[in-house]
Structure 1
Amino acid sequence: MPERTEEEIFATGAEAVNKGDTVFGLACFSRLITSQQSPIIRSYYAVCLAKERDEQQKALTLCMEAIEEEPWNSMHYLNLGKVYLASGDKHAAIKAFRNGLLHGKNQLIAEELNRIGWRDLPVFTDLPREHLLNKYFGKLLKKLGLK
């Protein structure tokens, strides 16, 4: 049987992680991380470390480095959000997912946000969500179909 190329290993590993199979993903990305240090490989490897080995701090560092190198790649924000979810920080995960959506539409991010349940940003972001202005203007805009 011929040896699989690194591109094939990456594709199958990324697909596994995106479907939630971080055990298989860890096997793929552990193999890739030794030969390549590209931002996308580090980003996916970070998700696997956070979920399978409970190494959240190392995973956060890897994701942040990937974002620093390629801030336009929404997949890094998706993976950062998954790392935050693995550590139990839902608020930070939602923030990471939203930042990813600023860099382009990403169906995987939208699916994650829908899965964990999120709310729209408040109308006045400088005020707390519970502030009367946010409550009433939010309801008004919703009724008008503008939000």
Structure 2
Amino acid sequence: MSSTEPEKLFARGLAAFKSDDTLSALVLFEKACQLDYNPGFVSYLAFCLAKERGQYKKAIALCKESLEKEPANQAHYLNLGRIHVLMGNKPDAILAFREGLSYGNCPELSDHLERLGARKKPFIPFLKRNHPINKFIGIILGKLGLR
């Protein structure tokens, strides 16, 4: 096999992934990973494993492995967050998306955060979120466009 064969398989898998055909993408990512165990390939494979086979623990482990090798790659944070969303684990998904955004602007990460409805910290942190003072200040600042 040529050295570009894994990249070709990954590109085909990514096209299938983007068209929401995660089953086909899973097969292509598995083949690409067998030929070249690239962290980028593994990250997408992890999401497909979680979505198609429900192998959440394995998927999270693979994503974390990819993050250890490439900690600044925002795609790994995106896939890890997506896995947490599939699991219904909203707090960890938000954490993953925010960590990914710490490496720069990424519209996909921002879109996922917005869809999850990530809340900002309460204005007065030592008071509970539903305390009337926090609610009132939050409403006022929101209407003024300052929050």
TM-score past 0.5 threshold: yes
CA contact (8 A) 1:122 1:138 kept: no
Partners in 2 of 1:92 and 1:57 — Cα distance?
14
Q: Aligned pair count?
A: 143
Q: CA deviation at 1:124?
A: 4.3
Match of 1:118, as an amino acid?
Answer: G
CA contact (8 A) 2:47 2:80 kept: yes
Q: Deviations over 1:100-122 (max 9, x none)?
A: 112111122223234x4313322
% identical aligned pairs: 39
Q: Compared with structure 1, are the counterparts of its residues 40 and 131 closer, same or farther at alpha carbon in structure 2 (3 Å cutoff)?
A: farther
Q: CA deviation at 1:123?
A: 4.0
Match of 1:5, as an amino acid?
Answer: E
- The equivalent of 1:106 in structure 2 is 106
- The equivalent of 1:120 in structure 2 is 119
Match of 1:121, as an amino acid?
Answer: K
- The equivalent of 1:16 in structure 2 is 16
- The equivalent of 2:87 in structure 1 is 87
Structure 1: gaps (5+ residues):
none
Q: Compared with structure 1, are the counterparts of its residues 137 and 16 closer, same or farther at alpha carbon in structure 2 (3 Å cutoff)?
A: farther
Partners in 2 of 1:57 and 1:125 — Cα distance?
37
CA contact (8 A) 2:63 2:80 kept: yes
- The equivalent of 1:135 in structure 2 is 135
Q: Compared with structure 1, are the counterparts of its residues 20 and 96 closer, same or farther at alpha carbon in structure 2 (3 Å cutoff)?
A: farther
Partners in 1 of 2:124 and 2:54 — Cα distance?
34
Query: Aligned with 2:103: secondary structure?
Result: coil
- The equivalent of 2:72 in structure 1 is 72
CA contact (8 A) 2:47 2:82 kept: yes
Q: CA deviation at 1:133?
A: 4.6
Partners in 2 of 1:125 and 1:78 — Cα distance?
30
Structure 2: gaps (5+ residues):
none
Query: Aligned with 2:146: secondary structure?
Result: coil
Q: Compared with structure 1, are the counterparts of its residues 65 and 139 closer, same or farther at alpha carbon in structure 2 (3 Å cutoff)?
A: same
Query: Aligned with 1:37: secondary structure?
Result: coil
Query: Aligned with 1:12: secondary structure?
Result: helix
RMSD (CA atoms): 2.2
Q: Compared with structure 1, are the counterparts of its residues 87 and 117 closer, same or farther at alpha carbon in structure 2 (3 Å cutoff)?
A: closer
Q: Compared with structure 1, are the counterparts of its residues 102 and 129 closer, same or farther at alpha carbon in structure 2 (3 Å cutoff)?
A: farther
Partners in 2 of 1:100 and 1:94 — Cα distance?
10
Q: Compared with structure 1, are the counterparts of its residues 6 and 120 closer, same or farther at alpha carbon in structure 2 (3 Å cutoff)?
A: same
Deviates more, 1:49-58 or 1:119-128: 119-128
